[in-house]
Amino acid sequence: MKKLVIATRRSRLALWQAEHIAERLRKLRQGLQVELLPMSTRGDELIDRRLDQAGGKGLFVKELENAMADGRAHLAVHSMKDMPAELPPGFELAAITAREDPRDAFVSSKYKTFKEMPEGASVGTSSLRRQSQVVERHPGLEVLLLRGNVETRLAKLDRGEYGAIVLATAGLARLGLEGRITARLEVDDMLPAPGQGALGIECRSDDREVIALLMQLADPATSVCVRAERAVSRALGGSCTLPLAAYAIRVQGDRLRLRALVASADGKRVVRQQFEGVAADPEALGNRVAEDLRRRGAAEILGL
């Protein structure tokens, strides 16, 4: 294997992430040529609707998977929070890399916190997860749709279209835009999306040579946490149509603590749960949390 091609979305953040993995692969195998194949996805083109209305997270990955299936690319790099809980047959996640800051960021040029925002002030986000948690705690605020890449969202904020916006801290940091962060939202106030802050590397399940190489980039500690988080999402339907958050941390060596919530879009009904389990079986922990969320009302909220 002398050359690898990485399928990637065209946004500056996606290109940064793909090049970051490309550079790690070049260092891992001397002489390996790694190229990027930038592509536009359906999710990038549908910017006037929320993802849950347009078709879900798969809108960002289908074209990349097609490129791998027909041999134009060997792998794709994704933000794990944008990955569907179930991959189509023939594909697998070969590696989940070390997680960056998983928290969401409050970004505003007018206000320092949500609490400073007056009733009726607008908050921009495209995420039902963020929307439900904002309106639960701050019901007087108006949450408005905000789509587009990071730069587009910041430009809309700067034009005064929103009083504040909520973005992933990791994405801003990767683009050198940490200076735009007004406040990092602690997980007690804004529980992250499953996999937030981590990168996933997808490839064809039959490409054993590529898988063996990519596995060397995996971070075991991050992987078990993200696997637990994604198990919650998978057990509850696995779509971004779900106002669902999940976040796991390693505690006491071989154990994980997993927190999750399901909420109605208007924030009036929120079900939370937290359990601990063994790191050796993160999916079992995720399934346990999901089942308890169902039992306590999540199934009704989600219409399951």
Q: pLDDT tens digits, residue range 226-280?
A: 999 999 999 998 655 678 999 999 998 899 999 999 999 889 999 999 999 999 9
Continuous segment of H or E residues that includes residue 95:
strand 91-96
72 with 203, same domain? yes
Q: Which of 82, 158, 207, 219 is catalytic?
A: 82
Question: Does residue 225 sit within a domain?
Answer: no
**Residue of higher predicted confidence among 67 and 243:** 67
**Structure confidence at residue 241 (pLDDT):** 63
174 with 91, same domain? no
- Name the pLDDT band for 76 (thresholds 50, 70, 90): very high
Question: Does residue 269 sit within a domain?
Answer: yes
158 with 203, same domain? no
- Name the pLDDT band for 55 (thresholds 50, 70, 90): very low
75 with 209, same domain? yes
Q: What is the percent of the chain with per-residue pLDDT over 70, rounded to a whole number?
A: 92
Q: What is the mean pLDDT of residues 53-78?
A: 83
Residue 212 pLDDT greater than 90, yes or no: yes
111 with 89, same domain? no
Asked about 207 being catalytic, the answer comes back as: no
- Name the pLDDT band for 42 (thresholds 50, 70, 90): low
Q: Which residues of 61-91 are buried (b: 16+ CB within 10 A; e: fewer)?
A: bebbbebbeeeebbbbbbbbbbbbbebeeeb
Query: CA 41 to CA 299: how far, in whole Å?
Result: 31
**Structure confidence at residue 54 (pLDDT):** 45
Residue 53 pLDDT greater than 90, yes or no: no
